[in-house]
Amino acid sequence: MSQLLHTMIRVVNLEKSIHFYTQIMGMKLLRKSENSEYRYTLAFVGFDDESTGSAVIELTHNWDTDSYEQGNAFGHLAIGEENIYARCKAIENAGGKIVRAPGPVAGGSTEIAFVEDPDGYKIELIQMSSAQKGLG
């Protein structure tokens, strides 16, 4: 059976991004590899390893790049949370940036919030009780 393994995003400051995803979002640094010939480092973060069926995020740091344009096609990453209200408070207390306070979506009952990582990528937090009903 096929499985979604990871989503790759390019980051400007790898250590700052690893700190955000591990210390603020609560993920684990699963592995890190450096390629000095082609001047990049990859760091994989997630709540669990891909071997468990969990999807992870590949943080790609190209050593000679100091900025990226995100464009307008990418939307966000989504993470299910047991309590988005408490999670947002913990993220704020840890220095994270909440860009949409927790609450129901416009015109619906699914409860969401949005966080922004150091590179400006948006992360949607979805109340698991809502996610288990099916989103759409």
Tell me the pLDDT tens digit for each residue of 49-98: 999 999 999 999 999 999 999 888 899 999 999 999 999 999 999 999 99
Instruction: Sketch the domain layout of the chain as residue ranges.
Output: 6-62, 77-133
**124 is known as an active-site residue:** yes
Known binding-site positions for Zn(2+) = 58, 76, 124
| CATH classification code of 77-133 | 3.10.180.10
E-strand spans in the chain? 6-10, 28-35, 40-46, 56-62, 77-81, 97-104, 111-116, 122-127
- Please give the helix or strand (H or E) that residue 15 lies within, else none: helix 14-19
Which is catalytic among the residues 34, 50, 116, 124? 124
Domain 6-62 sits in CATH 3.10.310.10: no
Whole-model pTM: value is 0.89
- Same fold flag, 6-62 and 77-133: yes
Known binding-site positions = 58, 76, 124
Span 13-32, average pLDDT? 98
Span 90-118, average pLDDT? 95
